[in-house]
Amino acid sequence: MSTGQIPTDDTPAEAPRHEFQVTESREVFAGRIISVRSDTVTMPGGGTSQRDVVEHPGAVGVVALDDSERIVTVRQYRHPVRRRLVELPAGLLDQPDEPAVEAAKRELVEEVGLEAERWDVLVDGLISPGMANETIRIFLARDLRAVEQPEAEHEELDMTVEWLPLTDAVDAILAGGIENGMAVMGILAAGEARRRGFEGLRPADAPWPSKPAAGGQG
């Protein structure tokens, strides 16, 4: 039976492996949410190469599943793609030292006016590791109840909320109707978790090695 463990980058290799060392690093852009740095990195076989890195604070998302096996989604305008996308309730890890699950709880209330009694880690992901350090953690929230929702602002003023049967959401992904990376990852993971009877999920405070150090341990 599988243990769910796969070899990691720390697994001993048969031959020595190259150590990618940064010989120079400089910040080239600092924005409201992201920054960009340019690193000079040693390459296998000698020499160096430039690697530009987008630094991101990380984010959390929530698959909120009700007793009828429906999930709550939001449709939100995303300026880089100039479209409204079907997404999960989600938000940045922008409050120092806030545990990831607490950030997820806050976003669930703020975006869709829900609280949940049961929280589990559903899946972790590195969104675009070829160019960014952005990492996300998606939680499964169950035993839901409605609560008062704070007033929205900016794009969230235009955001709409929709409940979808989990099966329909999976079908929508396979048909190309849901494209947001976090939503795709979380919904497919939730579908598989349901198939397994929700066995083997990690606790809400499970270690999160990829979480940005500035936010503390997840």
State the pLDDT at residue 151: 81
Report the helix count and the strand count for the chain, using DSSP H and E: 3, 11
Residues in the chain: 218
CA angle, 131 as apex, 129 and 136 as ends, to 5°? 45
At 117, which CATH number? 3.90.79.10
15 in a structural domain: no
User: Average of pLDDT values for 53-62?
Assistant: 96
Do both 40 and 106 map to the same domain?
no
Task: Return all residues near 83 (Cβ < 8 A) that are at least 6 apart.
Answer: 77
Query: Is the domain of 181 the same as that of 92?
Result: yes
User: Are 69 and 175 members of one domain?
Assistant: yes
Query: 172 and 107 in one domain?
Result: yes
The pLDDT value recorded for residue 16 is 79
Torsion, Cα of 32, 34, 35, 37 (10° steps): 180
Region 170-181 average pLDDT: 98
Q: Whole-angstrom Cα distance, residue 161 to residue 184? A: 17
Same domain, 113 and 180: yes
- For residues 120 and 47, state if they share a domain: no
Mean pLDDT of 126-138: 95
Q: 52: pLDDT confidence band, cut at 50, 70 and 90?
A: very high
Is 39 in the same domain as 121?
A: no
One domain, residues 33 and 99: no
Output phi, psi for 145, to 5 deg. Answer: -150, 150
88 and 151 share one domain? yes
On whether residue 9 sits in a domain, the answer given is no
The one catalytic residue in 24, 156, 162, 192 is 156
pLDDT digits (tens, 9 = 90+) for 144-164: 999 998 887 776 788 999 999
pLDDT of residue 3: 55
Answer with the one of 30, 55, 80 that is the final residue of a domain.
55
Task: Tell me, yes or no, if 156 is annotated catalytic.
Answer: yes
Q: Would residue 2 count as lying in a domain?
A: no
pTM above 0.95, yes or no: no
Q: What is the pLDDT of residue 218?
A: 37
* Domain range for 33: 22-55
The answer on 143 and 49 residing in a single domain is no
Total number of domains in the chain: 2
Same domain, 51 and 64: no
Domain-located, residue 207:
yes
Q: What is the pLDDT of residue 212?
A: 77
Same domain flag for 105 and 46: no
Mean pLDDT of the chain: 91
